Amino acid sequence: EAQVTQNPRYLITVTGKKLTVTCSQNMNHEYMSWYRQDPGLGLRQIYYSMNVEVTDKGDVPEGYKVSRKEKRNFPLILESPSPNQTSLYFCASTPGGEGSEQFFGPGTRLTVL
């Protein structure tokens, strides 16, 4: 089944404790992206990657890192999480090209205390 998977689905952590949210897709898509969803703000793009070893900042990249060592994986790294990073995070992938539909993962609910 074609899908985007994220782990963990739920995470509660404390300020400053480094964490990684994994994202994997099995559709051989070139473009992958991370978003955060917050009430009243919709989805905002954090980082995106056009292909292996190519990553770019989205609208709200501060406090986040990403890597794209393999085509299928695009982990999101929070080196020193803070409470304002409490949010619902979505990973997405697309075959590429603007206008292409994005396939979203089920989301990761992160709480930073």
Residues that bind another protein (CB under 8 A): 4, 31, 33, 35, 40-45, 48, 50, 56, 58-59, 90, 92, 98-99, 101-107
- Our CB check for another protein shows the closer of 69 and 99 to be 99
- What minimum distance in Å lies between the beta carbon of 4 and another protein? 7
**CB-CB contact of 81 with 13 (8 Å):** yes
- What minimum distance in Å lies between the beta carbon of 31 and another protein? 7
d(CA 46, CA 73): 16
In whole angstroms, what separates CA 18 from the centre of its chain? 15
- What minimum distance in Å lies between the beta carbon of 57 and another protein? 9
CB 42: neighbour CB atoms within 10 A? 9
